[in-house]
A = this chain, B = another copy of it.
């Protein structure tokens, strides 16, 4: 079944006429993703790689009522409006690629979407891929392969790194979700653990964390609290990051004495989650957990 996106995912691309939007529309189509429509205000009537462009998500949904997923490439100043537009138009999963969104804006739309029952993936994320079914994101599709490992990650390329290793090992992924590198994201690790728990295809979960915040600690606490049934392997980036400095991601900062890698690793280990010391080690631990090899 996979989670968040699958064969029944019908995608509208918000910001389709931009450089990024257009490039990744092509890449998603090539992957086999059902991209039915694009939106750029004022550019309705055009088409991008054969995908019709509309002035609003409302128009797109009127023409393509099967649309259930949106991917947003619009610049940060307009991203928040794009989210509300998608949610109000009835979209169920919104993948927000855009980075540099002010946190006061994202607090609001994330709260709104959650209350409305809409899943927001991101902001500042590479998107979601359920290999062989649908890719709604900017990740290189070829490093992923259909399989049994669910991945939830705060980082993009690090996900590809780990996914590639998992693919090479023949395990494959059920779904890989880049939840985003911002301090506050729509889907968090607990949300993903819950979804993977219900997903029959997923036999093990990989969590890729990094410094900043306490999402990993809360995930660990959740795993313990609910006696999570599936094996979980983690990797945490930023063991060598100095406090008080943002490491690329808006969310990757050790601040006010909290959010360092050691605390996260300790939390994971305390609840039985194996923590890899290098990305390559993730596969070794996964195999152990799944009693393979």
Contacts and interface: CB of A to CB of B under 8 A. Distances in A.
Contacts of A115: 115-116
Interface string A217-246: 000000000000000000000000000000
Interface string A114-128: 011000000000000
Nearest to A115: B115
A116 B114 CA distance: 10
A108 to B, nearest CB: 13
A8 to B, nearest CB: 26
Nearest to A114: B115
A115 B115 CA distance: 5
Interface in A59-117: 115-116
Nearest to A117: B115
Contacts of A116: 115
Interface string A162-179: 000000000000000000
A115 B112 CA distance: 9
A115 B116 CA distance: 7
Nearest to A116: B115
Nearest to A112: B115
Interface of A: 115-116
2 contacts: A115-B115, A115-B116
Closest 2 CB pairs of A and B: A115-B115, A115-B116
